[in-house]
Chain A
């Protein structure tokens, strides 16, 4: 089996690294084609906890990887100005409080808050309290179940991560070729891609092509015309402007997403700089205005010229068509509000590993592999889409055209039902296969002021005095644990993950 990966961004090198490690005995050759003249988007620099499994599966040492990618720990995302102007909450990785009498703690908190000040949801998650105090420790080092009940991910320089994995993959035998695709050869009977021709005349033949060429989808769309499901009616933001800036102040172990009048702005602190971007809807703000909003809201001076990105939210009709599998932006795009870009790359790779085609029949002839892969990826994308849309519609904001658009939107039935059930009784409609479990939905819905009318009636079966005491004990336990945790920056030094590189400063 010969594999050709087109594109060398995060998606391309993650795929190359995984295939070269996990399937080295059955793939005869892996060729990755990239061009230095085509800049990569460098999708989301923030990740979800699943990335740790990916790295562990490759045998990557955490400290070494963090050091080389200027990585920081990520305990969640702080959302500012989403529910209302001035509001903020953190969506952490992990649950809130401890189950009491078999009932999730948030249900008890819904009752408690009716009877006085028993804190907010954020006070019952170790990850959030640690994040807000710029502290970090590994879950296993917690001294109580509550101090261990959190997950973590990373914030890193996606370009450096791709470079790191490039070295890893090339050490595992992946051949890197510099070039731009100028032509594609198709087998007329099967419709398969048989080879790509590069600008220097080289022809790369393969049995399976993995399209990591980004939004353009050189093979999956331009060649095979998979077709695109446009989800702009639900997630209409279609532009982003990104710029790194100087990092100032303490090193935060969390990403920040601040709602703006025509979109939202991200802030991702790395060891040597801070990544920033403004995702917006061009219907209501111009490129210049969007750039101006971004530059006015940086922690420090910008380190380069802002870079504009153009996209359309949605996904390909087929992630896998004929002998081409699209991974990353070539497969679909969802704005990085919940750091899902790299996660969806990882999902694509994990599914491809499990469904990696056999030589006979040819990768394109086997409809079952494709059908399963496409069904799994479609479900992932759709469930992330609903979760992202929740952020825009769970709001009282009506201070701009964009927010008024969302307040009048007809939601997908799947999301409308979820919101209705929540508002009625704090019930979260669950699924098993998807990236965001009930605590994530609870964090956003309560964080953005969707207050249920009722709570689970079983809560009333528990002694209220004891409930108050338990709630207080949980808050104290978490606060004590956070007090004893190390400062985030100190923790990186302590485990040998600090890059020790100079903070990047703007040229005067």
Chain B
């Protein structure tokens, strides 16, 4: 058993993915692996694809690298998020709150969503995070009071990718990372016979400097400046035009984003501190040359690790920022890379396993996105047509049939996410779990009525999101001595 001698990893990009990856690697890599960060001066515009939304596990992910919630609240425009409020979506102009939530309470071993079918009620009325988000209120879920319905809520963050990049960069151990602020102008392929599948020999910077590394980590965004030179396997599924702007506001918006469907696509509003970040997505048939914005191909590569190059986040895939999928996948990319840091120069095993997990994650995240469009016929979303998919068919047919949430290994979106989405889109199972019959109908109805009223009452008693943030900031400033 031996570990390799000194080696060097090179990360390329000026993106959220780059700063998070460099920070994670700098904390995890053993000393014999040196880290080089080649960072172009201009930030990458494709960071808009994060939609400014993290999943709830961002809290712990950040914390393990020293980035705390108080820091994000005090030093950036970060706000809290219970999820995304969809409006006018699809054929029936559906509106629902796609909230974050811990596993639903079960009664007699039967999950809550089956009782929604049985009692013909609306799932969102029983989810405190949905209720609070719609009312514009927020409070941290208590960790010491499991009896409180709020303890089942989960929250993520609304964030500005450039600001978060700055915070992650600030936490870098400068002794572990060599930063070079330049662009890579070209790369040279290795011509060794063993590297016939695509391998970088060296990269050349704008000033002519040549840099060699054992592993190149491409975080250059959708331009995929390294990985795309090694393989050309990007499968484009849709082309869209994405534009974005920021609008200042007198007070911070609610603890949720809003996505509003329209004739040609949809519009996203992400509330940051005293401003809204507004993203507009237009499907390709409706885009015009004169429109501003980024023309993007949505889809993914079949291999994110080719030879000695790994593409992280948008260098390997591009998802519309409809859900937190772009953030979730970024986090998974980093975790997958850390688990598979090469132990020798022969990285065939690492790349093979990385790509297997990568494809699973991307395909499973895509299922969730596809599910937003499945079954729409007459609305703007009719233009979003995906090929038939066996896994999605199983998920949709099992849910419609009897409320079964068919699952696959380690999906990025959990059963609650799926149940909320199905309910939001008006998918009502034809049947429910038969074990629900063990629970007396009237007693359950009384319990549900009380739950519903309790949720509404609690949500209305919680403070408005903007006030909560202001008071929290004041408290944190006092506590931490921030100015």
Contacts and interface: CB of A to CB of B under 8 A. Distances in A.
B31 to A, nearest CB: 7
Nearest to A101: B28
Contacts of A466: none
A424 B348 CA distance: 11
B31 A368 contact: no
Given A429-B353, A457-B29, A354 B343 contact: no
A22 B342 CA distance: 50
B410 A432 contact: yes
A116 B285 CA distance: 67
Contact of B438 (A24, A114, A424, A461): A24
Contact of A457 (B3, B64, B353, B434): B3
B68 interface: no
A368 B397 contact: yes
A114 B1 contact: yes
Nearest to A375: B394
19 contacts: A23-B435, A358-B434, A368-B398, A368-B402, A369-B402, A372-B398, A375-B394, A420-B349, A421-B349, A424-B349, A427-B339, A431-B409, A433-B407, A454-B3, A454-B344, A456-B341, A457-B343, A458-B29, A458-B341
Nearest to B335: A102
A461 B409 contact: no
Contact of A427 (B2, B340, B434): B340
B29 A461 contact: yes
A357 to B, nearest CB: 8
Interface string A1-41: 00000000000000000000011111000000000000000
Given A454-B344, A458-B338, A425 B2 contact: no
Given A427-B353, A457-B343, A355 B404 contact: yes
A368 to B, nearest CB: 5
Given A424-B343, A452-B1, A460 B409 contact: no
Contacts of B408: 433
Nearest to A354: B433
B235 interface: no
A368 B1 contact: no
Nearest to A451: B1
A458 B33 CA distance: 10
B93 interface: no
Interface string B414-445: 00000000000000000101110110000000
A110 interface: yes
B60 to A, nearest CB: 11
A35 B28 CA distance: 63
B31 A425 contact: no
B191 interface: no
Given A425-B350, A458-B29, A461-B29, 4 more contacts: A372-B404, A424-B349, A425-B343, A455-B1
A354 B404 contact: yes
A393 B2 CA distance: 25
A353 interface: yes
A453 interface: yes
Given A355-B404, A457-B3, A461-B30, A23 B438 contact: yes
Interface residues of A, number: 41
B303 to A, nearest CB: 17
A453 B1 contact: yes
Contacts of B64: 102
Interface in A347-379: 353-356, 358, 366, 368-369, 371-372, 375
Interface string B17-46: 000000000011111110000000000000
A191 interface: no
Nearest to B32: A460
Interface string B128-168: 00000000000000000000000000000000000000000
A26 B29 contact: no
A213 B461 CA distance: 59
B398 A22 contact: no
A25 B438 contact: yes
Contacts of A354: 404, 433, 435
A414 B341 CA distance: 22
B109 interface: yes
Contacts of A420: 349
Nearest to A425: B343
Given A22-B109, A25-B437, A425-B343, A461 B31 contact: yes
A150 B382 CA distance: 52
A455 B1 CA distance: 8
Interface string A93-121: 00000000010000000100010000000
A463 to B, nearest CB: 12
Contacts of A23: 434-435, 437-438
A457 B1 contact: no
Contacts of B28: 458, 461
User: Which 3 A-B residue pairings sit nearest by Cβ, starting from the closest?
Assistant: A460-B30, A454-B343, A432-B409
B457 interface: no
Contacts of A453: 1-2, 343
A433 B1 contact: no
Contacts of B402: 355, 358, 368-369
A358 B433 CA distance: 10
